[in-house]
Chains A and B, each alone.
Chain A
Amino acid sequence: MTISIEQRLQRRHQVEVMEHRVEDYALTFEQESLRDTVGRALGTLAEGSDTVAERSDATPWAADMAPWQRACAIGVTDLSHVGQDGALVELALCVELMGRRLLRVPFVETLIGIQVLSAIGHPQTETLLQQAVAGNEFLALCPVPGSRLVPGAAATRFVVRLQPGEIILVESTEPAPSIHNAAGIALGTDDTPGSRTTTLLAGAGADDVARSARAAWRVLQAAALGGAASPAVDLALSFATSRHTRGVPIGSLQGISHPLATCHVRLASLTNLVRRAAWFQDHEPDSYPELPAAALLTALAASRFCVETAVHVHGGAGVALESPVSDHFTWVQATSVVAGTRRHLLDEVGRTLLDRAAQEGGPHGLRTS
Chain B
Amino acid sequence: MDFGRLEDPEFVSFVSEVRAFLGAELDQHRLAGLIDRRDDFDPAFHRALGRRGWVMPEWPVAEGGAGLDRRHARALDLEFARAAAPRLNLSTTRTILPAIVEHAAPTTAARIATEAASGAACIAMGYSEPEGGSDIAAARTSARRDGTDWVIHGQKVFTTGAHHCRYIFLLTRTAPDAPKHAGLTMFLVPTEATGVHVSAMHTLDERTNVVTFDGVRVPDTMRIGSENDGWAVLLGPLNREHGLGATRHVVDAATRHSRRLAEALEAALAWAVTPADGTLPADEPEVRRVLAEVAVDLMAASSTWGHTGRIASAEAYLGRVGDLCELVGARTAATGHPWSEDPAGILEFHRRSSQVSTLYGGSVEVVRDVLAHELGLPRWNR
Contacts and interface: CB of A to CB of B under 8 A. Distances in A.
Interface of A: 1-6, 8-9, 11, 13-28, 31, 89, 237, 240-241, 248-249, 251-254, 256-258, 260-262, 264-266, 268-270, 272-273, 275-276, 279-280, 283-284, 290-291, 294-295, 297-298, 302, 343, 346-351, 353-354, 357-358, 361, 363-366
Contacts of A365: 266-267, 269-270, 343
B369 interface: yes
Identify the interface centre among B5, B292, B342, B380: most chain A CB within 10 Å of its CB. B292
Given A15-B299, A343-B289, A349-B295, 7 more contacts: A17-B259, A252-B381, A254-B369, A266-B300, A290-B295, A349-B292, A350-B295
A5 B83 contact: yes
A265 B300 CA distance: 10
B2 A279 contact: yes
A358 B273 contact: yes
Given A257-B368, A353-B295, A269 B303 contact: yes
A270 B3 CA distance: 16
Contacts of A20: 5-7, 11, 15, 75, 78
Contacts of B81: 18
B380 A241 contact: no
Contact of B303 (A28, A89, A257, A272): A272
Identify the interface centre among A5, A24, A280: most chain B CB within 10 Å of its CB. A5
Given A5-B23, A8-B82, A27-B1, A258 B368 contact: yes
B259 A347 contact: no
Interface of B: 1-7, 11, 15, 19, 22-23, 26, 28, 31-32, 35, 71, 75, 78-79, 81-84, 248, 258-259, 262, 265-267, 269-270, 272-274, 282, 285, 287-289, 291-293, 295-296, 298-304, 308, 311-312, 337, 339-343, 365, 368-369, 371-372, 375-381
7 contacts: A252-B380, A258-B365, A258-B369, A270-B300, A297-B292, A298-B296, A353-B295
A273 B303 contact: yes
* The 10 nearest A-B residue pairs measured at CB: A350-B288, A365-B270, A272-B303, A257-B372, A349-B292, A350-B292, A251-B377, A1-B341, A357-B269, A2-B339
A265 B291 contact: no
A17 B265 CA distance: 12
B190 to A, nearest CB: 34
A15 B339 CA distance: 19
Given A262-B368, A354-B272, A2 B378 contact: no
B78 A257 contact: no
Nearest to B75: A20
A347 B375 contact: no
A6 B31 CA distance: 13
